[in-house]
Chain A
């Protein structure tokens, strides 16, 4: 309601400054009235003009009037003017003729819109690399060479082939598919994209696993790669899983794809590690195409006047990852550089946080809140049910006998009114429903139509407009579950629809109004951890006007960033840290407690209470949200003579002791020390870049020093790839090793000696080393107590677990709790800063309100039946049921509604059936089930 969607819109100009911009937007005509279109699809069905369906990457056709995809928002049709026969030839107007709501507007015109905004956030995205220009892959010519994006559509159940994988040449199921990595990435020879696109390794692994699920155990996927870059959280495990499921990984860059026969079989020639030349046939080849800034994104950036880097991504700095060159304009996502979904979502929230900081004085000035009429007290009335059987145009009415269903419903108990709207969801039908509810004094509503997933909120709002509680509503999905799946069996579809309607009515009879639930919000924050992430989170909250307390275990602020000299993009980390500590220390809204530890915590979103022990003193802190930023550190190791020989060091030891380097003739870096092995089956993400940076610095200062990096895969993802290239240009020697053949470090009379098997030379090398520096694993700081106090989960490697790996990367599953920095996963400083700002941005969505509405669909304990066994408390993943001492009567379970997500685990595990879920009470569900019998 406070988001205004402007589709088909492009920014054309901007003037003004941060806090007060004037932006003009050109909105192309849709030729369909959004108010009237009910997305019935009749227009597209009747439209005679077919064209390429770009949503399906050109693998299918669509009509000139279309929605890009079935779940599109807004779900409104649009006319593609360039393909419309009326616009091109002056005749047709079939859509206009058949549209049941007169929504077609051929006279629609382009609009100029002027907006006055305080900030702009640029998130215009990327475009997949187009490989057609590479004659060696023949994507444009060979039907069985597809891009990874095309393959996504081929895999998709909603795609052009219904999820059935087949060759485009002859329709046969492929037995063998090859993925070729780095197409349009890490390639200066044939395109200008020398960066790594960061996401292709993982999506190729994913596509190969999903393809195997589709095609069965005989299917043979193979991925041809240079370095396998599975550096994200839980990615390495996914890679290992792919290997164990039979995905072949071949380290080779394939030069050419050729067609071997008329059916379209493809041949690849590649060289193995051992130098052997292999020729192998595949049924299909998938080109793992990289990311490029979209032309339209570059145009938008130019219009907004923000600087781009040499690859035309938006320029930012390593210490201000979402700030553009223009104050008040922020950036997030792949328009800033190649990145995956979680990082894009993190930056999205970080950019919202930045914009929130610059506009905090105006927070709440322009937002609106919808007001509903007071709810009628209908609880004690006899049920008066109204049933609306929707025709959904011809979607339902064209197959099922809607009048018969309505007539059937009318005969059922408590039903006092029925109606058969053409489209129950159209605005006029909604208005009419409000009138009918009032006139007929209806107190339960059943809509037999499409899916509640998309339409329940709409109808619930209609009920509220009529003064009914939103939960006096029930839906029967007679479209998806009847007329769609039984489209060839009209009678059966009608029969099943009657069954579903009968079930819905029976359940509706027992529905009860459920009052909305809200909790007040204490507008202050607790930040646990005073490193770069914790301090950034605190300052980002304080600058938005919220008080924050930082709890730091050690005696000083700064955390693990104190060891780091430069960001990978070159910024001075110590200067940044000094400024940050100074700002945090003097900020009037920030309290810093050092040598302090959380000793107890209770409460829920908006109302936490945490006890902190700081030296002798105990503080009791009331706070509305908490951000966990407990950090991480480089692990120790017993490998490679670490701790036994003074010349074996780790991480930043050499940078912190430059005197060790002076005069060193040979320095060897060893990567993956304690990472990507059985004990820590994850990649520490930042070590490749860190060692490459150090190697460059040594070479720049003392070019005669031999520098070696012994690695398993070089994972300089994204634009960090340029550093890898630079290191090679400066003469740093990279030697790959495998987990099975690790390097061996031994002490000699004049230093150290490293033995390593070089897979290219197929020979063991013996290298003299004056210094050996180890990139040991990054592990989370001890966090078991914090996990227990706030009941937040950690993964198998003790990193805190976010609510959703892709879409909620800084939220915990429990409301009001957020995570950032190394406590979540190893990450570089720019990523930690972005995540900390994102946590503050997400926290602001809670702290900005005086109270927050929470879902009232929670569990309810019958205290008389409860025996206090505690099973519900144990199984609840959200800490939403506690055991309370009930005045000498033993323990009784108590629901904390604010924390409850209504999952029902407690109810289903209760041995006494003392717990019921509101709106899904046993008797309500049993009523529906009995009606089906």
Chain B
């Protein structure tokens, strides 16, 4: 890395639960975020799940 000031933005590739969490954390910590997702909507595989254990919460 050079000594000049870095760019204060980040690209997150993939809009599933992981990408969404990374994007939220980065944005809340003061960085501009581009969230790139291949499909027409974010959500990823978790959105397809019915419920999650151990609480059997709705995963939506």
Contacts and interface: CB of A to CB of B under 8 A. Distances in A.
Partners in one complex: yes
Interface stretch (A69-77, A182-190, A635-643): A69-77
Among B16, B30, B47, B56, the one with the most A-chain Cβ atoms within 10 Å of its Cβ is B30
A532 interface: no
Given A4-B34, A124-B13, A335-B14, A153 B7 contact: no
A848 interface: yes
Contacts of B54: 234-235, 237-238, 805
Contacts of A120: 10-13
Interface in A478-519: none
A332 B38 CA distance: 17
Interface string B3-31: 01111111111111111111111111111
Interface in A554-590: none
A155 B51 contact: yes
A55 B37 CA distance: 15
Interface string A317-332: 0000000000110001
Nearest to A332: B18
Nearest to A353: B25
Contact of A848 (B4, B30, B48, B57): B30
A186 to B, nearest CB: 21
Contacts of B20: 348
B13 A121 contact: yes
Given A5-B35, A156-B50, A806 B9 contact: no
Contacts of A2: 27, 31-33
Contacts of A538: none
A125 interface: yes
B29 A73 contact: no
B48 A356 contact: no
Contacts of A333: 14, 16-19
B27 to A, nearest CB: 4
Contacts of A94: none
A359 interface: yes
A300 to B, nearest CB: 5
Task: Give the interface size class of chain A.
Answer: 35 or more
B34 to A, nearest CB: 5
B37 A334 contact: no
A602 B8 CA distance: 35
A829 interface: no
B18 A72 contact: no
A123 interface: yes
Contacts of B17: 333, 341, 344-345, 348, 807
A123 B11 CA distance: 10
Interface in A16-62: 17-21, 23, 25, 30, 55, 57
Interface stretch (A203-211, A672-680, A737-745, A920-928): A203-211
Contacts of A271: none
B60 A71 contact: yes
A408 to B, nearest CB: 34
A432 interface: no
B49 A20 contact: no
B13 to A, nearest CB: 5
A332 B11 contact: no
Interface string A123-139: 11110100000000000
A345 B27 contact: no
Contacts of B45: 125-126, 128, 149
Interface stretch (A167-175, A276-284, A839-847): A839-847
Contacts of A25: 36
Contact of B41 (A69, A297, A332): A69
A78 B32 contact: no
B44 A115 contact: no
A890 B56 CA distance: 45
A606 interface: no
Nearest to B28: A845
B29 A844 contact: yes
A152 B42 contact: no
A121 B43 contact: no
A257 interface: no
A347 B18 CA distance: 8
A152 B49 contact: yes
Contact of B37 (A5, A75, A358): A5
Given A327-B1, A344-B17, A358-B1, A365 B33 contact: no
A11 interface: yes
A728 interface: no
A356 B22 contact: no
B21 to A, nearest CB: 4
Nearest to A348: B21
Contacts of A761: none
A681 interface: no
B6 A362 contact: yes
Among B10, B23, B37, B49, the one with the most A-chain Cβ atoms within 10 Å of its Cβ is B10
B40 A78 contact: yes
A5 B12 CA distance: 10
B41 A367 contact: no
A409 B33 CA distance: 44
A440 interface: no
B52 A806 contact: yes
B10 A119 contact: yes
B8 A363 contact: yes
A363 B30 contact: yes
A34 to B, nearest CB: 10
A351 interface: yes
A25 B38 CA distance: 10
A117 B9 contact: yes
Given A7-B37, A115-B34, A363-B31, A334 B18 contact: yes
B32 to A, nearest CB: 4
Contacts of B39: 7-8, 68
Contacts of B24: 3
Nearest to A806: B52
Given A121-B10, A156-B50, A159-B50, A68 B26 contact: no
Interface string A341-379: 100110111011101101101111111100000000000
B30 to A, nearest CB: 4
Interface of A: 2-11, 17-21, 23, 25, 30, 55, 57, 66-69, 71-76, 78, 115-126, 128, 149, 152-153, 155-159, 163, 202-203, 205-206, 209-210, 234-235, 237-238, 296-297, 300, 304, 327-328, 332-335, 341, 344-345, 347-349, 351-353, 355-356, 358-359, 361-368, 544, 805-807, 841-842, 844-845, 848-849
21 contacts: A2-B33, A3-B34, A6-B35, A55-B47, A67-B40, A71-B43, A73-B42, A118-B10, A121-B10, A124-B13, A125-B16, A125-B44, A159-B50, A205-B53, A300-B13, A341-B17, A348-B20, A361-B6, A366-B7, A367-B31, A806-B52
Interface of B: 1-2, 4-57, 59-60
Given A4-B35, A122-B14, 16 more contacts: A2-B33, A8-B40, A21-B11, A117-B7, A117-B9, A123-B13, A124-B19, A125-B16, A125-B44, A153-B50, A235-B54, A341-B52, A344-B17, A358-B6, A362-B6, A848-B29
